[in-house]
Amino acid sequence: MSLFIYNSLGRTKEKFEPLNPGIVTMYVCGPTVYGHAHLGHAKSYVSFDVVVRWLRHSGYQVKYVQNITDVGHLTDDADEGEDKISKQARLEKTDPMEISQFYTRSFYEDMDRLEVQRPNIAPNAAGHIPEQIDMIEQLIKTGHAYEVNGNVYFSVESFPGYGKLSGRTDQDAVQSGVRVEVRSEKRHMSDFALWKKAEEGHLMKWSSPWSVGYPGWHLECSAMSMKYLGETIDIHGGGMENKFPHHDCEIAQSESVTGKPYVRFWMHNNMVTVNGIKMGKSLKNSVNLKEIFNDIDPLVIRFFILQSHYRSQLDYSETAIKASATGLEKLRETQRRLRGQKPGTGSFDITPYQRRFSEAMDDDFSTPVAISVLFELSKAVNSALDRSEGISLLSLQQAEAFFDTSGRDILGILKQDDQDHNREIKGSTDKFDAIMELLFELRAEARKNKNFALSDKIRDELLRLSGIEIKDTKEGQSWSFKS
RNA sequence: GGCGAAGUGGCCGAGUGGUUAGGCAGAGGUCUGCAAAACCUUCUACAGCGGUUCGAGUCCGCUCUUCGCCUCCA
């Protein structure tokens, strides 16, 4: 089966084939680094992380670029207000460079904990001012842009398809709802800034042929995408809220320069809501990742995100997270059980599960369905293992391999080996094992003597003090870390 | 006002014309010294009203409701 991706441009699922066989070029809009990452960032980058992982699993070499926006863009309307990074610098009594560096590191820390693989190239906007200036010069030369008082604007009338991505092709209609007063120096109300002259006191500014100033926000993605991935890229991802104007502007300026299609597949992920309302920094209801991670395993958040489709809104609530945590624990439990299992004689066919998993992923990255396949496999495996004949060595190995491939490599929700991972944290494996062996012996003896008070105390206290859970099973005692 | 998405059982969340999504929670059971885990059984659905069809959660129309975008935002 082949991969189908929902293309926002055209609003249908289309069969995906890269422009150049075997190689996929992919660009995703990165964060503006002036604050800690929140759940919305997690949804976006986890979703696209799975896209990249699936493409790679499918045999493609993926060149994945995700930018860091570290040029201050404005807090307020299109042409007034303080820039966000400068504002944060003022609040934190430091300078913009430190702000962007600090929050860039913070962003990667959080993404690492979510098991989001780093992009191949993570260019920052401030490091690509010459490229952006070049692009403006070309746009002016070809009549797509004009300069007024040190500001440069893109002329939307020079690009007939403007607004085709968002469906906002009638600019008079668009402008009728605009709540911001328009600068009269623009030729058309919808024209957008490519370069802005720095106001008095503006900290992040660069020299250009037009003024000492800074580039418009839409420009960086076009310039960096072209520099690292070429004039036409296979996939461009981003949040739905950026369809208009950001992505429509990118298309206009890029295609005006190259005369070629800018992006073949546009992918837009949906928003996170909290109690049904959009989460936003300005609404003061944003859920900071570092704060959630104090209480919740980051992989539970990742799992929670992937349990809904990337194009669906995700509503955050404590009960929903709790349900996800229990569900993920179930899959981990099965994974552990598979690992420690003695082979039996029963046969078990995992190919239907592999096939359904692949079909789900090939259908526009349907992670909720893919996860449901893992649950069904989990149930089938447990059922089989509960029977006396068990599962043969070969089938056990296949099931374990499939859990590793799907749960760990592709979805990123399962670790390779919890136990080993946790033992590493504990330090000396041998000594630790010896201690556990001793506790097992003490409990076995106590239980033999019907001293259940003692055996239960060892079990309960160990769980309470260290989070290590002992279970009594038919095969004997086992332990695992309970997160 | 314009553009777009969506309304599924207690909660989350799949389903693109025809036999069970899945998870969490609830009820009953098996196993167990107990606990945990696991398994089995089970209760609540498709916003409303029309229409197309042998047959609609799934297509069409209308109504109601919600959400996002049109200002920086993942």
pLDDT in tens, A86-143: 888 888 878 888 999 999 999 999 999 999 999 999 999 999 999 999 999 999 999 9
How do beta strands A272-274 and A314-316 pair? parallel
Evaluate if the CB of A371 falls below 7 Å from strand B: yes
Asked if the Cβ of residue A69 lies within 7 A of any atom of strand B, the reply is yes
Helix (H) or strand (E) holding A55: helix A39-57
Using CA atoms, how far residue A406 sits from A15, A372, A415, in Å, is 22, 12, 11
| Chain B footprint positions (protein CB, under 7 Å) | 1-5, 11-16, 21-25, 31-40, 66-74
The complex scores an ipTM of 0.93
pLDDT for A62-90, tens place per residue? 999 999 999 866 554 344 556 788 888 88
User: pLDDT band at residue A161, thresholds of 50, 70 and 90?
Assistant: confident
For residue A384, which nucleotide's C1' is closest to its Cα?
Answer: B39
Output the pLDDT for position A318: 85
- pLDDT for residue A105: 96
Q: Which of residues 395-434 of A touch strand B (CB under 7 A)?
A: none
Q: Which among A69, A38, A34 has a CA at the least distance from the CA of A283?
A: A38
User: Which backbone phi and psi does A236 adopt, to 5 degrees?
Assistant: -125, 125
A11 beta carbon to strand B: under 7 Å: yes
Element (H, E) at A67: none
A245: preceding bond cis by omega (within 30 degrees): yes
- Diameter of chain A by CA atoms? 92
Q: What percentage of chain A has pLDDT greater than the value 70?
A: 92
- A448: Cβ–Cβ under 8 A, 6 or more apart, which residues? none
CA atoms within 13 A on the CB side of A31: 24
Average pLDDT score over residue span A151-177: 85
* DSSP per-residue string spanning A302-351: HHHHHTS-TTS-EEE-HHHHHHHHHHHHHHHHHHHHHHTPPP-S-----H
- In angstroms, the CA of A379 and the C1' of B51 are apart by 43
Q: A283 exposed, middle or buried (CB, 10 Å; 0-12, 13-18, 19+)?
A: exposed
B31 C1' to A177 CA distance, Å: 66
Domains of chain A, start order:
4-269 (3.40.50.620), 289-416 (1.20.120.640), 422-481 (no CATH)
Q: What is the pLDDT of residue A319?
A: 86
Say whether the CB atom of A288 is under 7 angstroms from strand B: no
pLDDT computed for residue A78 by the predictor: 41
Mean pLDDT over residues A159-164, rounded?
90
With residue A191 as reference, give the H or E element that holds it.
Answer: none
The DSSP call for residue A83 is B
**A68 to A110, A131, A452: CA distances (angstroms):** 15, 15, 59
Whether the CA torsion A328, A329, A333, A336 is positive or negative: it is positive
What ranges make up the beta strands (E) of A186-295? 192-197, 213-215, 233-239, 263-269, 272-274, 277-278
pLDDT tops 90 at residue A26 = yes
Residues 433-472 of A with CB under 7 A from strand B: 447, 452, 455-456, 459, 469-472
Residues of A (90-149) placing their beta carbon closer than 7 angstroms to any atom of strand B are: none
- DSSP annotation string for A240-267: GGGIIIIIHHHHHHHHHHHSS-SEEEEE
8 Å CB contact between A275 and A39: no
Torsion over CA of A462, A468, A472 and A477, rounded to 10 degrees?
-100
Q: What is the pTM of this model?
A: 0.93
Tokens of A292: 């959630």
Distance, in Å, from the CA atom of A292 to the CA atom of A101, rounded to the nearest integer, reads 23
| A83 DSSP β-pair partners | A74
A467: its two tokens: 């989070």
Q: Is residue A425 scored above 60 in pLDDT?
A: no
The reply to whether the CB atom of residue A75 sits less than 7 A from any atom in nucleic acid chain B is yes
Is the CB of residue A393 inside 7 Å of nucleic acid strand B?
no
- Mean pLDDT, rounded, of chain A: 88
- Hey, what are A195's tokens? 């370069």
Tell me how far apart the alpha carbons of residues A40 and A416 are, in angstroms, rounded to a whole number: 27
